[in-house]
Amino acid sequence: MSNFVLVLDAKKIPLEPCSSTIAKKLLKAGKAAVFRQYPFTIILKKTVNLQEVKSCQLKLDPGSKTTGIAILQDNKLIWAAELTHRGQQIKDDLESRRSLRRGRRGRKTRYRKPRFLNRTRKKGWLAPSLEHRVLTTLTWVNRLIKFCPIVQIAIELVKFDCHKLQNPEISGKEYQQGTLYQYEVREYLLEKFNRTCAYCGVKDVPLEVEHIVPKSKGGSNRVSNLTLACVPCNQAKSDRDLRDFLSGKPDLQERILAQAKKPLKDAAAVNTTPWKLFNTFKETGLPVTTGTGGKTKFNRTQQKLDKRHYLDAACVGETPELEILTTHPLLIQCAGHGKRQVIKVDRYGFQKYNNKSELVRNSAPLKQVKGFQTGDIVKAVVTKGKKIGTYLGKVSIRTSGSFNIKTIEGTVQGINWKYCKPVHRKDGYVYGF
């Protein structure tokens, strides 16, 4: 089952989403037109009585790499999406730029006096990779508010308690008690070890929390001493130390120990960005509710739902029995708007090739050709020549007017611009289902 279709009236006021069957009938009868392809939205050719419109609830499950988005109406999941961030790419690009600048300054301005007192950060500053997660999520929330009658936002907050993860024996009743504590630790271990058995690598089987150094031999409950194992591996290891159990597999032993001591970078990112989102969402004027990561997983397991980001989003906060009306969420991947870098360099800082020609570099940048821009999603119906057929995908422009189209099957080169029709203009995202 696909997502419901978002609907606008003639004055671009959001209406109640409808099923794809009803949307097809409206389009075929000429009572509506396609307003936007991603997310798929239609616009009616007449106004509607707004008193009959049912309101919707928007739920978010912010993650370090992927954010789940769900729209609910009367406890029915009618629209869902998974937004994949590019925070790690931003971090790598900044580190690459930093190394190149430091090398250039060391070569050309080695006698410049050091400056350290002019690098202040404003209150609420976030690292660019974290700020990207906030801004892209906020972009899609504002976009959905324009296309859907959303009256409430629910967001997951404090997914991981780093103090509790590092030291479960921390003093205080709040840290020692609580029915959701095991859900927090187990959820963190599942993400840390990619939901696989640490010993044999098997997936999609029941996994148990296992001690690297058994408690019978002095092991603790610290998260750095915990891993995941399937039932056969856990029973085979029994109360032996990891080093004894994997004495014949030193590479696997070293990998597990290194992964167990992996820093809580993703947990810190998940803890930081939702609060920024929460404070930003309150400025919209809509009521904002919250829920913890342990509560989300508790709701999902009670309703026997699969582990998907959009289903986690649907289970945020107080969630009665859900009716799932969509199983194919819109997959949104952040791709950016390209780079302004003219000279490409290798890892040592030496020039590789020019990103733009001399003509383009010495004049205004050429962004569009025949009304098309690189990154636009187009549909080309070629009626003659060697490439007869229909092609749908992202376009790469050329000044000659002969474009390349990247489809699911591969890249098709040399498609004349006259055969191309825009489907969705470039907006910095890649879409799929």
C-alpha–C-alpha distance, residues 110 and 204, integer Å: 56
Q: Do residues 323 and 75 make contact, with C-beta atoms less than 8 angstroms apart?
A: yes
pTM of the model: 0.75
Note the pLDDT of residue 96.
Answer: 83
Backbone angles phi, psi at 248, to 5 degrees: -90, 0
Question: For the segment 88-111, what is each residue's pLDDT rounded down to a tens digit?
Answer: 899 888 888 888 888 888 888 888
pLDDT at 179: 44
**Residue ranges in the chain modelled with pLDDT below 50:** 171, 173-179, 357-364
Residue 6 bridge partners (DSSP): 41
Domains of the chain: 1-53 (no CATH), 162-263 (1.10.30), 365-432 (2.30.30)
| Strands 207-211 vs 226-230: parallel, antiparallel or unpaired | antiparallel
Pairing of strands 429-432, 343-345: unpaired
Compute CA 322 distance to the chain's CA centroid, rounded to the nearest angstrom: 23
Q: What is the residue type of 10?
A: A
Give CA angle at 204 (203, 208), nearest 5°.
80
Are 337 and 89 in contact by the 8 Å Cβ rule? The answer is no
Q: Give residue 363's pLDDT.
A: 45
User: Quick one: pLDDT at residue 177?
Assistant: 47
Burial level of 29, CB count in 10 A (0-12/13-18/19+)? exposed
Residues 6+ apart with CB under 8 A from 306: none
